[in-house]
Amino acid sequence: MALIPARQGSKRVPGKNVRVLNGHPMLAYTIVPAIESGVFESVIVSTDSEEIAEVARHYGAEVPFLRPAQFAGDTSPDIEWLEYTLAELTRQARTWGAFSLLRPTSPFRTADTIRRAWARFISQEGVDSLRAIEKCAQHPGKMWVIRGDRMLPLLPFGDPPWHSTPYQALPPIYIQNASLEIAWTRVVVERRTIAGDVLVPFVTEGYEGFDINDQYDWMVAERLLSDGLVQLPAVNETPFQAVNVART
* 11 band by pLDDT with thresholds 50, 70 and 90: low
Among positive and negative, which fits the CA dihedral 226, 26, 104, 34? negative
Q: What is the mean pLDDT of residues 35-42?
A: 98
- Multiple choice CATH, 2-135+176-226, 3.90.550.10, 3.40.390.10, 3.40.30.160, 2.40.50.140: 3.90.550.10
* 243 band by pLDDT with thresholds 50, 70 and 90: very low
Judge whether residue 244 has pLDDT over 90: no
Q: What is the pLDDT of residue 3?
A: 98
Q: What is the mean pLDDT of residues 217-229?
A: 96
Average pLDDT, the chain: 93
Count each helix (H run) and each strand (E run) in the chain, helices first: 6, 10
**Per-residue pLDDT tens digits for 183-208:** 999 999 999 999 999 999 999 999 99
| Cα atoms found within 13 Å of the Cα of residue 231, Cβ hemisphere only | 6
Judge whether residue 232 has pLDDT over 50: yes
| Cα atoms found within 13 Å of the Cα of residue 126, Cβ hemisphere only | 0
DSSP 62: B
Structural domain boundaries in the chain: 2-135+176-226, 137-172
